[in-house]
């Protein structure tokens, strides 16, 4: 069936899935826009308390409806780019940049099975390059729970500078918890680009 022959609803759904988020390719990973076919993989990975409690906004338990709402909501704002992270064609996590009041924020999560292999650093660097390059942001901010030293190391390896600690609500634990806050500006990023930029392949 050609695109022209598809029902209007299908065409609209397909166009929503093909929003203007590029495909980024790093040494080991491919980052692309989330699509409806990712729902089951997202639920399987993020419906894990170890993953959810290290994010601010992911609830626990996490179901199909949550994943569908997430996919429908992302990549709607100017300056936003949310990607699923894939390795050898398998979805392993999510990483993105989202406009916020003070400065755009980088956020990410990986399925627990993929922790400790350098994938988070590789994905975050690709999104940072996209945020400062194609999206034209001047500053980025990020956060990590103080109880999550691995995420703090990712921020530091990506050039983020620690700016302090704040108390933030964590949906998965239905309570507030302290988060280390980080900031990266364009000038520092420009001096660190030797890490090798991700290639935009589509």
- Residue 124 φ then ψ, to 5°: -60, -40
Q: Residue 197 — very low, low, confident or very high, per pLDDT cuts 50/70/90?
A: low
pLDDT score, position 20: 82
105 pLDDT above the threshold of 50: yes
pLDDT for residue 12 is more than 60: no
Average pLDDT of the chain is 90
For residue 112, CA distances in Å to 24, 53, 177 come to 23, 12, 21
Identify the residue with better confidence: 16 or 177.
Answer: 177
pLDDT for 17: 47
* Other beta carbons less than 10 A from residue 41's beta carbon: 18
CA distances from 148 to 55, 91, 103 (A): 10, 22, 23
In whole angstroms, what is the distance from residue 95 CA to residue 82 CA? 6
Domains of the chain: which residue ranges?
Answer: 21-200
Going by pLDDT thresholds of 50, 70 and 90, the confidence category of residue 196 is low
Mean pLDDT of 171-200: 88
- Determine what percent of the chain is predicted with pLDDT higher than 90: 83
pLDDT for 1: 41
Go through the chain and tell me how many residues it has.
202
State how far the Cα of 193 lies from the Cα of 163, in Å rounded to an integer.
22
Helix/strand/coil percentages in the chain, nearest 5: 35, 30, 35
pLDDT of residue 72: 97
Calpha distance 169→202 (Å, rounded): 37
Query: Nearest CA to 94 among 132, 127, 64?
Result: 127
Task: Give per-residue pLDDT as tens, 24-80.
Answer: 999 999 999 999 999 999 999 999 999 999 999 999 999 999 999 999 999 999 999
The sheet carrying 81-87 orders its strands as 161-170, 175-185, 139-145, 105-110, 90-98, 81-87, 30-32, 24-25, 199-200
Class of domain 21-200: alpha beta
The pLDDT, as a whole number, for residue 178 is 97
Is the CB of residue 145 less than 8 Å from the CB of residue 136? no
Residue 9's pLDDT band (cuts 50, 70, 90): very low
- pLDDT confidence bin for 201, thresholds 50/70/90: confident
């Amino acid at each position: 069936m050609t695109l022209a022959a598809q029902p209007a609803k299908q065409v609209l759904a397909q166009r929503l899935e093909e929003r203007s988020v590029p495909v980024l390719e790093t040494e080991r990973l491919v980052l692309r826009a989330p699509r409806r076919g990712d729902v089951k993989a997202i639920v399987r990975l993020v419906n894990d308390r170890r993953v959810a409690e290290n994010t601010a906004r992911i609830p626990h338990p996490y179901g199909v409806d949550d994943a569908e709402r997430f996919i429908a909501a992302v990549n709607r704002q100017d300056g936003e780019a949310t990607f699923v992270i894939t390795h050898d064609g398998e979805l392993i996590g999510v990483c993105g940049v989202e406009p916020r009041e003070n400065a755009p924020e980088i956020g990410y999560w990986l399925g627990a099975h993929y922790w400790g292999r350098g994938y988070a650093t590789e994905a975050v660097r690709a999104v940072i390059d996209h945020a400062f390059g194609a999206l034209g942001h001047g500053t980025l901010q990020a956060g990590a729970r103080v109880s999550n030293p691995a995420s703090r190391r990712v921020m530091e390896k990506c050039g983020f500078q620690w700016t302090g600690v704040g108390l933030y609500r964590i949906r998965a634990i239905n309570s507030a918890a302290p988060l280390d806050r980080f900031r990266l500006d364009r000038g520092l990023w420009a001096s660190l680009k030797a890490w090798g930029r991700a290639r935009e392949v589509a």
